[in-house]
Structure 1
Amino acid sequence: MLKGRPLSTPEPVDDQGFADFFRSCLPVLTRTLAALTGDTRVVEDVAQEALLIARHRWDDIRSYDKPEAWVLKVALRLMRRWQQRHQCETPLVAVPAVDALDQVHEVEAVHSALRQLSPRHSEVVALHHLLGYSISEIASVLMVGESTVRTHLTRGRAELRRILGGSDD
């Protein structure tokens, strides 16, 4: 106390919706990055780092149409940097022994095949098929033209069919 005045307690900081955004975005980021890399240990760190960067810029990105797209773009860049620094193949995700083992194997086969694609093909296919992003949204996230996205999507799908043993018709 100073001269009879009580110490003031700090006012709670208004996070302007970031806490809710964090809770909804973290699982999407981790699922997407895990599908692309298979390394769940690194994925969690990269996703949280991308969200930390987003927190620092929240005043700007909260007004974006799809702030999660901005965070995903940051996370993809961080993941690429990590992979370049460590120059290693990430291990496959361990498959749990549960009742839905066939379904788990099928999903893992797709994720494994996705990881065999070039980085850009796998990103485009994952954004489109796992997250439901449109061609224009993917173009915005990856900062490329829509025709480039369509080309990568077509080639990525064809390569996935080849890897998974399906027809390429």
Structure 2
Amino acid sequence: MRRTERDAAFSEFVAARQRHLRRVAYALCGDWTRADDLLQTAFTKLYVAWPRIRHDGSEEAYCRQIMVRANIDESRRPWRRERPTDRLPDLPAPEPTPVEERSALFAALQALPEQQRKVVVLRHWLGLSVRETARELGIGEGTVKSHSSRGLAALEQVLARQR
């Protein structure tokens, strides 16, 4: 495949799947800015692997896997961890920009522990099988089932309280 054909095929994939994958990234991390960063990281890595991945038709799965792993990596970065301090900064933090109201389901989803949220998003939003979810997250199938069960029960509880 010539480079121009490769670039055209990659651009076509990005144009077709970008909105969906951005929502997946948001569901994984709960922040649009971080979701955009995850998606950009995923597309960059996907472009590098494009000739190899394109042949077996697993572009989207590969992209999701990159986003899941990049999200895990980012949450482990030292600057992501808060540190308590006795000294306050000289200037107060700016007021946050108002954000549109999130749906009750999405708010409840973000309240789940990280691993449960990832399992619920991959299993029930994206419709992956237990085996596919386990493979993408690098965990056992039994762990996927237990996280899925607990996550759905927690979502049910939160949503029932809001009715």
TM-score, scaled to structure 2: 0.75
Change over 3 Å in CA distance of 1:162–1:13 after alignment to 2:
same
Q: Which residue in 1 is equivalent to 2:50?
A: 58
| Farther off after superposition, 12-21 or 35-44 | 12-21
Task: Count the aligned residue pairs.
Answer: 143
1:12 CA drift (Å): 6.2
Contact 1:73/1:141, CA 8 A, preserved across alignment: yes
Counterpart amino acid of 2:152? R
- Asked if residue 87 in structure 1 is aligned to residue 81 in structure 2, the reply is yes
* Structure showing the higher helix proportion among its residues: 2
Q: Which residue in 2 is equivalent to 1:111?
A: 106
SS where residue 55 of structure 2 aligns? coil
Give, in whole Å, the separation in 2 of the partners of 1:65 and 1:12: 19
Q: Which residue in 1 is equivalent to 2:139?
A: 144
Structure 1 vs Structure 2: percent identity of aligned residues? 30
Counterpart amino acid of 1:14? E
1:42 CA drift (Å): 1.7
Counterpart amino acid of 1:155? R
CA deviation map 1:115-166 (0-9, x unaligned): 1111111001011222121222212211223222111111111111122236
- For structure 2, list consecutive stretches of 5 or more residues without a partner in the other structure: 83-95
CA deviation map 1:15-70 (0-9, x unaligned): 16212222233222210121233211121121011111010011221133432111
Give, in whole Å, the separation in 2 of the partners of 1:42 and 1:33: 8
Contact 2:68/2:137, CA 8 A, preserved across alignment: no
Give, in whole Å, the separation in 1 of the partners of 2:69 and 2:114: 11
SS where residue 114 of structure 1 aligns? helix
Give, in whole Å, the separation in 2 of the partners of 1:24 and 1:43: 18
Give, in whole Å, the separation in 1 of the partners of 2:20 and 2:59: 13
Contact 2:28/2:71, CA 8 A, preserved across alignment: no
Counterpart amino acid of 2:71? M
TM-score, scaled to structure 1: 0.73
Change over 3 Å in CA distance of 1:144–1:63 after alignment to 2:
farther
| Farther off after superposition, 122-131 or 15-24 | 15-24
Give, in whole Å, the separation in 1 of the partners of 2:47 and 2:143: 31
Give, in whole Å, the separation in 2 of the partners of 1:112 and 1:61: 34
Give, in whole Å, the separation in 2 of the partners of 1:121 and 1:59: 33
